[in-house]
Structure 1
Amino acid sequence: MQIENLGHESWLISTRKGSILIDPLLRREFGRSSQYRYQKLSHANVPAGTLGAVSGVILTCDHFQHFDRSSFSLLSSEVEVFIPQTFSESEAQWLRDRGAFVKRVPIGTPVDIGNLQFLFVPSGSETPPWDARVCSLMVAECDCPEPKWIFIQSDTGINRSISNMIPPSWFRKPDLVVVTCHYREYAESGYSSWDNFICPPPSLDDPRAAFDLVSAVLPLDISPLNVASLYVVAGGDYERQDRPLPSAKRDNARLAQLMNDLAVNCTINAATAGATYFVGDALEARRSKPVSIARADNAPTPFSVSELKNYSPLASDPAISRGLAHFAKALLLSELGHTLLFTDEYLGVKLDTKRFVLKIVGTANTTTYEFCFSKGAFVICDKPDDELLQKPAGLVLSASAFRDIVMGFASAPETCSNNSLQWHIGPLSHSPLGLLYHAFSHPIFKPMG
């Protein structure tokens, strides 16, 4: 299976047995009003033979930049079109009048198109009101032992129950996630807005803004620690012809780089028209000229344990240091981290930026770390142990258990179930121990051993 970006949020998904179009925007210029005309900033021409052979068209919503009527003149009049139950009936009738076979699909119901299977995913509660009828997509190639599947976020916040919607027959880990939160400010149809805004524009200088970005852009429920091999940032790739966009300081490439810096074990790429992503065991991106994508293992990261204030024999241990760095990123990307970041008072005490405590007990020495959100890293705690429980959350575990997890000698549940202590606010599913189990599970974490 491969997926090609045609510009903005238009995609062509192809397999050896057929292809489908998603939100086809097949012309560079588009728009339904003569007053407001738009153009894609990057555009890919699809050969007529390819368009004539598509097995079906999927429309995520009836917005003009997703459902472009003029593009259907390039397709067979009898093409099969799949729409969600939230799709406008008048727009659906326009398709029927043209000759298309329109199928209205209930949200969450798997549908087969050749050897591909898809289902619509409802928007999350934080989605802007004008996008509330938009649906995201899951698409899988199902004629293989472990179905390869992708998630395409379409102008929506992520629905919190999304993990429960994955069909049991699908392999649980998505192979690719397309993220369509983008940040360009401009006037559209008479009002000024952030196109597909969910949170303020990103900034590496503001940890809370960076975390807001991660919380909004990364689908936390299906991949809270970047379990997908590849994320693609797409969308917002158009402008009004009478109001060209200024040079964007924060475009999709900038957003992709910020996400790459925050990533654990995945690669982030910004899509442009013509970019093709091959979904399989060796996932890579190709353009007209081959490009290489640095793995997240080698990517620069703003989170580091090299700034520890005091020397500690445990901190000098390579396994402990690597484990701390990985766990720091896991905490920052987790629901528990989100809760802690926005908790300002605990047990009647005003909190500073250090709200999570990790105490590692060794045979010769014990080191206590506090997680500092302002640095995005663990720092050695300079307060006595009797103040530990005044923090909202924490975890105590043995140095040997932590080292075995990092080295790959044992799993977290094997080593920590009987000899660890945790305390935290929030539901049990967001506990420090649960986070530890998830953060160091395979294939999210690559052990040293």
Structure 2
Amino acid sequence: MRAIFIGHQTWLVEHGNTRILIDPLLCEDFGLVDEHRIEIYPPRAVNAAALSDVDLIFLSHEHSDHFDIQSLNLLPRSARFVVGGTIVEPVKQCIRDLGFTLTQVNDTEPMRVGDLRLRFYPADPKTAFWESRVTQVHIEEADQPSNGIFIAVDALVSEVFKADITQGRLAPPKLVIVSNNSRVSPPGAFQSLENWGDNASDSNRKVGPLGIGVLSGVLTSYMDDFPVQPKNIALCGGGFIKRLGGFAAFPFSNQPTLSRLANRLSLDTNIVGLLPGETFALDSDSESQIGVDWVQVDKMQHNLLIDELDQFIKARKTVEVVASVRRDVQDVEMYEALLRRAQAELQRLAKSLMLFITGRKVLAMSHYKGRKLGPNRIVFSFVSHALGRQDSYTLNLISGQFEAETHSQLESLVAQYPFGVRLPLVDFIGMVEGDLQIWDIVGVSVQSWFEGGIFDGLIPFFYSYYGENGSPELLAKIIGRSMRNLEVCP
């Protein structure tokens, strides 16, 4: 059995005459919102015709870096299509509308597909809630169950899967594939869950994370309670670039470099980091794996991106927060109309926010930065750089209503309110109306600050409230538009 890396978190597992495709991203970019599609890193081209005979397509969950309609449209409708029981209905309907026969799995009973046997597992309950609908998969040779691959995707390793190994129902896998989604962000930029309040002034700009911390998190903390030490761990994920502002040269991660570093640290496990098109064979001891000719890395463009990154670092440059992902408004009347829509949306979400962990955390606080807190403790600040406008609103925890705030400068808001977010008005309305997804704007045009841990702020609330599970109607709208653009209509 061998695993072929196609890019980001897309894998093709082959054995005998059987081929299983996982989370297919086959285009040079991906995304459900066509005007905000994101480039795959490293840049590569996939000849989808080479996948015309795949036996089964498995979709782990519905996030756009796994579920790409344009890529699915390239695949044979003869392939069996499998999803987990927690995937949201608009995605299942989209798959049916594309012409696939859909199978939904709700348990861990083995599924025989030709020369392979598959088992599907729910994510560990401690997984971040926006990734908690991930279904993980174990693939083994039907005639030799000890040859197995476990693909963890974006979630913590399933407790049910670990119990199956511990209790002898399943042989330990020879390869565990884990996702490294640790963003390598440019100096001056921030990851989606980072606290802007710690870096609000130019004198306290962050300079970026180090790869060794990524290895610690992915290879030691993540695998801490795995029943047996895996023989091989493959890193994937983070294989894309949000080409906005000065972000172009900064991929989320570089798996081959990280794997070489990890193996020099003398870990007891072989760490595998592949470029798209490279393969890993379970029955091979060779460190150099043979690639496939139907996936080709654009080596020239890849080298240009690496050179661009090197020059950026040597020049000690920084980037600024992108003014807006969507085109900013130039007209005051249009801005005022959008602002009224934003005010109505704030009143709609107020009760949900108060019940979310953010609201519960701030309600339990009495003081902030040495001052006693009043009833207004959470602030939303909307900006238009084109018009020079900033309009802020604070949530009154007694009335449950948002009220206008006269102060709009970021440092003043950070000093006064323990929880807040500042983002372009056009991006907020785009998210509210389903013209883009929350994933399109976080880590790009949004600044947030909070007290406590990374799950306590407003970005996790956005993930919950506007994400695929919280707002399936927004997802359905986006999917419908994408399907019409492909001229695929139910």
Separation (CA, whole Å) in 2 of partners of 1:74 and 1:169? 40
CA deviation map 1:107-142 (0-9, x unaligned): 423212111111222222442221111122211111
Q: For residue 233 of structure 1, what is the aligned residue in structure 2? A: 235
Q: For residue 255 of structure 1, what is the aligned residue in structure 2? A: 258
| Count of residue pairs the alignment pairs up | 276
- The answer as to 2:272 corresponding to 1:273 is no
CA deviation map 1:261-292 (0-9, x unaligned): 45543311212211101112646541459xxx
Q: Which amino acid aligns with 1:180?
A: S
SS of match in other structure, 1:157? coil
- Structure 1 residues 152, 140: CA separation in 2 closer, same or farther (over 3 Å shift)? same
Q: Which amino acid aligns with 1:260?
A: N
Q: Which amino acid aligns with 1:221?
A: F
Q: For residue 60 of structure 2, what is the aligned residue in structure 1? A: 60
Which runs of 5 or more residues in structure 2 are unaligned? 195-207, 293-490
> Could you tell me the TM-score, scaled by structure 1's length?
0.54
Separation (CA, whole Å) in 2 of partners of 1:283 and 1:230? 13
Asked if 1 retains the 8 angstrom alpha-carbon contact of 2:184 and 2:250, the reply is no
- The answer as to 2:10 corresponding to 1:10 is yes
- The answer as to 2:25 corresponding to 1:25 is yes
Separation (CA, whole Å) in 2 of partners of 1:249 and 1:234? 11
- Structure 1 residues 89, 276: CA separation in 2 closer, same or farther (over 3 Å shift)? same
- The answer as to 2:109 corresponding to 1:109 is yes
SS of match in other structure, 1:255? helix
Asked if 2 retains the 8 angstrom alpha-carbon contact of 1:259 and 1:268, the reply is yes
Asked if 1 retains the 8 angstrom alpha-carbon contact of 2:239 and 2:251, the reply is no
Q: Which amino acid aligns with 1:176?
A: L
Identical pairs, percent: 24
- The answer as to 2:223 corresponding to 1:221 is no
Q: For residue 242 of structure 1, what is the aligned residue in structure 2? A: 244
- The answer as to 2:95 corresponding to 1:95 is yes
- The answer as to 2:162 corresponding to 1:163 is yes
Separation (CA, whole Å) in 1 of partners of 2:56 and 2:108? 18
- Structure 1 residues 33, 186: CA separation in 2 closer, same or farther (over 3 Å shift)? farther
- Structure 1 residues 100, 252: CA separation in 2 closer, same or farther (over 3 Å shift)? same
Give me the CA root mean square deviation.
3.3
CA deviation map 1:55-79 (0-9, x unaligned): 0101100111101111122112343
Asked if 2 retains the 8 angstrom alpha-carbon contact of 1:183 and 1:194, the reply is no
Q: Which amino acid aligns with 1:129?
A: F
Separation (CA, whole Å) in 1 of partners of 2:236 and 2:258? 10
Separation (CA, whole Å) in 1 of partners of 2:251 and 2:284? 35
- Structure 1 residues 285, 164: CA separation in 2 closer, same or farther (over 3 Å shift)? farther
- The answer as to 2:73 corresponding to 1:73 is yes
- Structure 1 residues 258, 220: CA separation in 2 closer, same or farther (over 3 Å shift)? farther
Asked if 1 retains the 8 angstrom alpha-carbon contact of 2:239 and 2:253, the reply is no
Shift of 1:44: 4.9
Q: For residue 336 of structure 2, what is the aligned residue in structure 1? A: none
Separation (CA, whole Å) in 2 of partners of 1:52 and 1:210? 36
SS of match in other structure, 1:147? strand
- Structure 1 residues 74, 219: CA separation in 2 closer, same or farther (over 3 Å shift)? farther
Q: Which amino acid aligns with 1:183?
A: S
More helix by share: 2
Separation (CA, whole Å) in 1 of partners of 2:9 and 2:66? 7
CA deviation map 1:338-381 (0-9, x unaligned): xxxxxxxxxxxxxxxxxxxxxxxxxxxxxxxxxxxxxxxxxxxx
- Structure 1 residues 106, 202: CA separation in 2 closer, same or farther (over 3 Å shift)? farther
- Structure 1 residues 283, 148: CA separation in 2 closer, same or farther (over 3 Å shift)? farther
SS of match in other structure, 1:5? strand
Higher relative contact order (CA 8 A, sep 6+): 2
Asked if 2 retains the 8 angstrom alpha-carbon contact of 1:184 and 1:194, the reply is no
SS of match in other structure, 2:192? strand
- Structure 1 residues 164, 249: CA separation in 2 closer, same or farther (over 3 Å shift)? closer
Q: For residue 119 of structure 2, what is the aligned residue in structure 1? A: 119
